[in-house]
Amino acid sequence: MKSFQIVLIFLFSQGLMAQFYIKSEPFVHTYSIVARDSLTGDMAVAVQSHWFSVGSVVTYGRAGVGVVATQSLVNPSYGPKGLALMEQGLTPEQALNGLLENDPGAMFRQVAFLNHKGVVATHTGSQCIDEAGHKQGRNFSVQANMMLNNTVWDAMAQAFQTTRGHLSYRVLAALKAAENEKGDIRGKQSAAILIVKGEATGNIWEDVLMDLRVEDHEDPLHELERLIKMHDAYNYMNKGDLAMEEGNSDKAENLYLQAQKLFPDNLEMTYWYAINLLNNKDYSKAFPILKSIFNQDKNWKTLTGRLVKSKLLSIPKERLEEVMAL
């Protein structure tokens, strides 16, 4: 049975066939990447475009299933329907081909599917505005349309393959490479990144590892990079909070310190690091830090007194008085 017949049967069975054809598609001419980390299994989709809120129409993902980028004259249904088909066991190629064969606007679409095994399928329609193209590799696909130059997708592939580190920074490197090749012929406006786990936990709140959007900005990639860095810092903060909840102040101190190193000017990150210095009885180090914070914003001093009641600050009464006198 052909893939499009399989897709039709599935769509009818799930009640998804109605309104498959989109009457008015946004013109999201752009560049994007779908990718998988071969070590962790995590999957990412990231995008940049001269279009408002590009992430709301281009990027889709589901832990344990895959990720989708749908762009050019966007048919947003490729996102949820593509994920549903892959979750049912269709390969990315079967899922994508089935949807394309039932889409009268297929020649205008640019779509990439990647599943949890790292298998990819990509389509660049014949009527996508030049320069348009894509390139696939192991665990990734990059695609672009309406570019100033036809060197964009090769540069993106090269950047992803040669960059080391966390998946977020590898896909960001691919986006930067596109911009270095002059990117979208119209310029730049918004960007987004979505990362999901390779295996679903059953807890939706744990399955999405990163979901960041820059809706409207003069330099969206620079802003996205800042948000990714802040996301990393707050991951340390969240883990530090859990360590405090568990009463492990040594672990919390170290985690808050890691966050502070990423954003040394962030008062809250510095504050919680200092609070755990107090919990660990390192008063000589904590006092000057807290004094500096209190001088900038006295509300942090008020908060400090309240932490004792919540048992997040364990400190002798006389030491607390010293802190409140700073």
What is the tens place of the pLDDT at every residue in 221-255? 999 999 999 999 999 999 988 998 898 989 988 99
The percentage of residues in the chain with a pLDDT greater than 90, rounded to a whole number, is 83
Contact criterion met (CB below 8 Å) for 101 and 125? no
Delineate the domains of the chain, giving CATH numbers in brackets.
24-77+106-218 (3.60.20.10), 234-324 (1.25.40.10)
* Strand, helix or coil for residue 82: helix
Burial (CB count within 10 angstroms: exposed 0-12, middle 13-18, buried 19+), residue 78: buried
Distance CA 121, CA 270 (A): 46
In the numeric block, which tokens belong to residue 254?
């170290």
Residue closest to 221 by CA, chosen among 54, 68, 80: 54
Residue 28 token pair = 């999201």
Contact 82, 113 (CB under 8 A): yes
pTM comes to: 0.87
Q: What amino acid occupies position 52?
A: F
Residue 20 pLDDT exceeds 60: no
DSSP H or E stretch at residue 326 = none
User: Average of pLDDT values for 257-277?
Assistant: 92
- Classify each residue of 27-45 as buried b or exposed e, where b means 16 or more C-beta atoms within 10 Å of its C-beta: bbbbbbbbbbbeeebbbbb
pLDDT at site 27: 58
What is the 8-class DSSP label of residue 149? S
Cα distance between residue 319 and residue 326, in whole Å: 11
How far apart are alpha carbons 209 and 41 in whole angstroms? 12
| Lowest-pLDDT range of 37-51, 178-192, 220-234 | 178-192
CA-CA-CA-CA torsion sign (6, 11, 14, 15): negative
Contacts of 222 (CB under 8 A, 6+ apart): none
Looking at residue 15, its pLDDT comes to 44
DSSP state of 118: S
